[in-house]
């Protein structure tokens, strides 16, 4: 019996049992991560190697450097994750890996490594969409959460409002028509001379400012639940340049706070409108921007005021990690989805259709 036939039989047995311990790999950008997740809900291990200090020297992620650092970090992380979980590789039921979207070289590192590990250890291989992983972080953080619910996914490269109709099934309600929210945060941070990573540092600076000190435009979009951040970002940057050319000082704390308020209001307004219009009872948030302190507090406050149950993962599960991949993988495998050894990285992978 060949590898794929054996893995199908093993996966069938796991589905029959209804449980699995999955070792998951995430390498879509500049974090190398390996986790062990049980039944899609229980975090047994979470090992991460960050590259922030290296990329900070260049003001952003350098794809070639990211790929090389993944290669260096991934084997030691396997040992660390198994040690945290108190398990041997033979006690792992399956291997999961992010295969898109993301940086192609970074993705290829994880995909190639995971395929080799799965084959050598004779374990089923499960392919996971990175964005689905972000949504699934909520399952680990909130064991009582089940579909359906509406989820805002906001990160450096993505801004979506998703109707999670059931495990592994997603309806796109709204999306950015241009820049992502995290990208806008990073680019405005540069105007304020905030080093990489700009978004999290801008969030901290904004805590000390007056969020009504400056007025910025609220973009309009044809789609009721869509976002647009490019015009807002450009307007904010141009306004800063104009003030400086006039010899006027910009209060960085107030500027950061006012911009953060504008972006957060847009995200929360659209998300709650989508949830209420679709009759959702629950709303969640995911992605790197979900670590933004104002977004977390405003979604919690306004969502509950609107009569919705609000689910927010801890900050450590908002940024890229492999726990979220292991959670998504469990439900993919339970639905009968496995990857062949021909699995390839898909940098522009979509979660919809």
- What DSSP letter does each residue of 191-250 carry, written as one string? HTTPPSSHHHHHHHHHTTS-TTSS-------SSTT-B--HHHHHHHHHHHHHHHHTTPPP
Q: Of all helices (H) and strands (E), which one includes residue 175?
A: strand 169-175
Distance, CA of 180 to CA of 99 (rounded, Å): 21
pTM over 0.75? The answer is yes
Position 295 scores a pLDDT of 98
Q: Of all helices (H) and strands (E), which one includes residue 42?
A: strand 42-50
Which band of pLDDT confidence, cut at 50, 70 and 90, is reported for residue 156? confident
Which band of pLDDT confidence, cut at 50, 70 and 90, is reported for residue 222? confident
> Biggest alpha carbon distance in the chain?
76
Percentage of the chain lying above the pLDDT 70 cut: 100
Which band of pLDDT confidence, cut at 50, 70 and 90, is reported for residue 103? very high
Residue length of the chain: 353
Position 1 scores a pLDDT of 76
Look at 286 and 353; give whichever has higher pLDDT.
286
Q: How high does pLDDT run on average in the chain? A: 96
């Amino acid at each position: 019996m060949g590898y794929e036939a054996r893995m199908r039989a093993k996966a069938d047995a796991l589905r029959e049992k209804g449980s699995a311990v999955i070792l998951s790999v995430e390498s879509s950008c500049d974090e190398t991560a390996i986790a062990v997740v049980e039944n899609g809900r229980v975090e047994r291990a979470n090992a991460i190697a960050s590259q922030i200090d290296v990329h900070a020297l260049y003001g952003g992620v350098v794809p070639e450097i990211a790929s090389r650092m993944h290669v260096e970090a991934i084997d030691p992380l396997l040992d660390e994750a198994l040690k945290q979980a108190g398990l041997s590789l033979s006690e792992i039921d399956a291997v999961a890996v992010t295969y898109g979207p993301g940086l192609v070289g970074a993705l290829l590192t994880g995909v190639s490594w995971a395929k080799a590990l799965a084959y050598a250890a004779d374990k089923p291989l499960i392919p996971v969409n990175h964005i689905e992983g972000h949504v699934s972080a909520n399952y680990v953080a909130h064991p009582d959460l089940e579909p359906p619910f509406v989820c805002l996914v906001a990160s450096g490269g993505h801004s979506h409002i998703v109707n999670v109709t059931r495990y592994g099934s997603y309806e796109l309600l709204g999306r950015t028509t241009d820049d992502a929210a995290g990208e806008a945060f990073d680019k405005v941070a540069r105007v304020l001379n905030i080093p990489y990573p700009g978004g999290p540092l801008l969030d901290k600076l904004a805590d000390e400012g007056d969020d009504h000190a400056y007025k910025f435009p609220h973009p309009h979009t044809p789609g009721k639940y869509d976002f647009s951040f490019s015009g807002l970002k450009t307007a904010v940057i141009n306004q800063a340049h104009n003030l400086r050319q006039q010899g006027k000082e910009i209060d960085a704390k107030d500027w950061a706070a006012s911009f953060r308020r504008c972006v957060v209001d847009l995200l929360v307004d659209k998300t709650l409108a989508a949830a209420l219009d679709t009759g959702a009872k629950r709303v969640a948030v995911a992605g790197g921007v979900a670590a933004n302190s104002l977004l977390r507090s405003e979604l919690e406050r306004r969502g509950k005021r609107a009569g919705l149950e609000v689910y927010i993962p801890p900050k450590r599960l908002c940024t890229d990690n492999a726990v979220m991949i292991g959670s998504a993988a469990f439900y993919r495998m339970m639905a009968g989805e496995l990857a062949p050894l021909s699995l390839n990285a898909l940098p522009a992978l979509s979660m919809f259709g």
